[in-house]
Structure 1
Amino acid sequence: MLNKIRNIQWRQVAYFFLGLVALVGVGMLMSLVNKKDQVQVCSALKVMVEGQETFIDQNDITSMIKEKFGTVVGKPLNQLPLQQIETELKKSPYVSEADVHMDMDGTMQVAVQQREVVVRIISQNGQQYYVDSKSNKIPVTLKYVPHVMVANGYINEGYKKALEPVKSQLVKDLVKIVEDTKGDDLWSNQIVQLYVNDERDIEIVPRVGSQQLIIGNADSLSYKLDRLKSFYTHILPKVGTDAYSKVNVKYSGQIVCERNGDWFIDSLQMKMHTK
């Protein structure tokens, strides 16, 4: 009997009992936390709205939550459907992401990321909508008017429902032009508006000068913009801002200028054409 006792691996027995005690402790702790969650109530609602736009604010988010789920402050935590609240917030056409969780103090933390719009489209029949950075359509609201580029003219694609994707190549080209020029010092100051003429060519409406700046579509866009920059830096200073009624860079390798009904290509354009 004494030998059997001596042969017992007491260290392993000790580890076993320590593990058992730890397991029981964790179980008791989880039970206490669960009971606390059942009795603890939501003490406050904190909303943070992120993004450059101000389509919606904290009051809008609070009202949306109250309308769908009632007053959350004072409710037991186990009665708050956090995942459902997130899903409901994401249904707003102005919200790209939403995160809802409870902190240790019982405060419901709501973080909302707004969609970033790129351009405002006014279609040929007068329908208006925004296009966001993911090429989805965002409805116009009277509450907030973002400072983004406006494109109008002979644009057939209209608006049916929020978050539907852009379909026509024309509107996709308009979005590309805005995105490719917004970080440029010259174009961010010079481009006032985009216009689609009756030939479905895209024109830049300049801040300085009255000439039509025709780029056609967004194919080879950087090359077309470089030619327009050459026009502004090499030609315009010599002839003045109102010398031309039309400047066209839609044709490869050329800057075609029109004045008083006459078409001509100057020496600088011919050099560019032969490169």
Structure 2
Amino acid sequence: MKRGRLIRNIAVGLLAVGLLVVFVYLFVSSPSRRNADGRCGGVVVRINAHQGGEPLFLSPDGVVDELTRHGIVLKGRPLDSIDLRGIEKTLSSLSVYEQVEAFIAPSSATLQIRLKEKHPLFIVQDRTGKSHYVTEGRGTISVRQGFATYLPVVSGDLDLQYATSDVYDLMAVLRRDSDLVDYFGQIYVDASDGIVLIPRIGSTRVIIGKTTDWEEKLRKWRIFASSVLPRRGMNAFAYVNLDYAGQVVARDRYGVQGFGRDEEGELVRLDAVAVSTEPAAPAPAPVVAAPAPKAESRPTSDQLRQDKPKQDKPKQDKPKQDKPKQDKPTGSKPSPAKAPPSKPTPTKQPASKPAAAKPATTKSTASPKPNGNPKKPPTNQSKKK
């Protein structure tokens, strides 16, 4: 019995010691003991953006910097000196948050800030040069330095009242259309044409006018963009006017001059000769053909070079015709006396020379004796006396 009591007492003692150790550990490691001085250990910012995406205006660190810029320093500050209402008022003055909540978590001795962003739809630049965000619910936020977001821009001749009425309705129609929600990057309000849409791709101005039947006008644009632009190109038209009932009016960017339409109705560039209407237009055609005679002049020079040797050939043939004179050695001696007059006659009279030689031969053949020829010169001298 004594042994059983001893064991029971030992077990109870061990259990008591264990409970004491656990109590001491929890007491020492509790947050109140870690922050016995009651100071803020940190700031946790949670931002609820639209559709659970990234914050559009300020990041969590940007929120802390914004509070510091207003003179509110939180980390390391005594918890009982933090003005939670002042923090909420400061963040609400930015006009970009729909809900602001600030509180202290006693378990961690940190400041918790929960924010819910407003949903901006587009940016408005009015006629005075001021910029505003137009948010969901037709609200407005003044644009200030330090935060910005990527949104469509509406500018031109408008004010906030027009931006939150007709322009707001147009943007609502565009958001409901999955094909056009991100199609247009800029909207311009013209004093005479009304609302003009500028696509993100291309520079064609889409005029939808001032009347508020936006769905019908955008329906015509979808038909035009799907049937005409693929064949003509995104920049083929200067503008497309949708403000006419039952029709679409478009203007070619390059006009009529210099362009025409082919068999399929597509715009094609014409030649410069076909486009010009002046009477002097056909003159350039022969000017283009002028280089042809130059090509002929080159062969003529070659022909002249080839013709020169042809003219020299007959000159070489003429002395060949005179060579038969050597075949007349049978004649009498006075025949060489008549040869000198034949030398100064280079003219083209080859037939005259043999004619002169024939009478000399006839005289020699007429005399039966060979000695008759030397007797003739004295007879002639006697006649002269």
Instruction: Give, in angstroms, the shift of residue 213 of structure 1.
Output: 0.8
Amino acid of the structure 1 residue aligned with 2:206? L
Match of 1:90 in 2: 92
Match of 1:13 in 2: none
Question: What is the aligned counterpart of 1:111 among 110, 114, 134?
Answer: 114
Q: 1:179 to 1:53 in 2, by over 3 A?
A: farther
Is residue 251 of structure 1 aligned with residue 244 of structure 2? Answer: yes
Partner secondary structure for residue 165 of structure 2: helix
CA contact (8 A) 2:156 2:190 kept: yes
Amino acid of the structure 1 residue aligned with 2:227? H
CA contact (8 A) 1:129 1:140 kept: yes
CA contact (8 A) 1:211 1:242 kept: yes
Q: 1:88 to 1:226 in 2, by over 3 A?
A: same
Partner secondary structure for residue 168 of structure 2: helix
Q: 1:68 to 1:242 in 2, by over 3 A?
A: closer
Question: What is the aligned counterpart of 1:100 among 87, 99, 102?
Answer: 102
Residue by residue over 1:17-71, the C-alpha shift from the partner in whole angstroms, topping out at 9 and shown as x without a partner, is xxxxxxxxxxxxxxxxxxxxxx955443212233244422334433454545554
Partner secondary structure for residue 223 of structure 2: helix
Match of 2:130 in 1: 127
Partner secondary structure for residue 221 of structure 2: helix
State how 1:46-57 maps to structure 2 within 5 Å: 46-51=44-49, 52-57=54-59
State how 1:5-84 maps to structure 2 within 5 Å: 42-51=40-49, 52-65=54-67, 67=70, 70-71=73-74, 73-77=76-80, 79-84=81-86
Is residue 204 of structure 1 aligned with residue 197 of structure 2? Answer: yes
Amino acid of the structure 1 residue aligned with 2:213? S
Structure showing greater Rg: 2
Q: 1:240 to 1:85 in 2, by over 3 A?
A: closer
Residue by residue over 1:194-223, the C-alpha shift from the partner in whole angstroms, topping out at 9 and shown as x without a partner, is 111231510111234443211124722222
Residues of 1 paired with 2:153 and 2:132: CA distance? 10
Residues of 2 paired with 1:70 and 1:241: CA distance? 55
CA contact (8 A) 2:43 2:74 kept: no
CA contact (8 A) 1:176 1:218 kept: no
Residues of 2 paired with 1:64 and 1:207: CA distance? 34
CA contact (8 A) 2:42 2:74 kept: no
CA contact (8 A) 1:177 1:218 kept: no
Partner secondary structure for residue 186 of structure 1: coil
CA contact (8 A) 1:149 1:194 kept: yes
Match of 1:173 in 2: 166
Residues of 2 paired with 1:74 and 1:245: CA distance? 63
Partner secondary structure for residue 244 of structure 2: coil
TM-score, structure 1 length as denominator? 0.64
Residues of 2 paired with 1:100 and 1:218: CA distance? 47
Q: 1:234 to 1:133 in 2, by over 3 A?
A: same
| Structure number having the greater helix percentage | 2
CA contact (8 A) 2:138 2:164 kept: no
Amino acid of the structure 1 residue aligned with 2:157? Y
Q: 1:73 to 1:242 in 2, by over 3 A?
A: closer
Residue by residue over 1:118-166, the C-alpha shift from the partner in whole angstroms, topping out at 9 and shown as x without a partner, is 11222234322222223233222343331110122222x2xxxxxxxx4
Match of 1:141 in 2: 144
Cα RMSD of the aligned pairs, angstroms, is 3.1
Match of 2:214 in 1: 221
Partner secondary structure for residue 214 of structure 1: strand
Residues of 1 paired with 2:233 and 2:61: CA distance? 52
Partner secondary structure for residue 245 of structure 1: strand
State how 1:179-194 maps to structure 2 within 5 Å: 179-182=172-175, 184-194=177-187
| Structure number having the greater strand percentage | 1
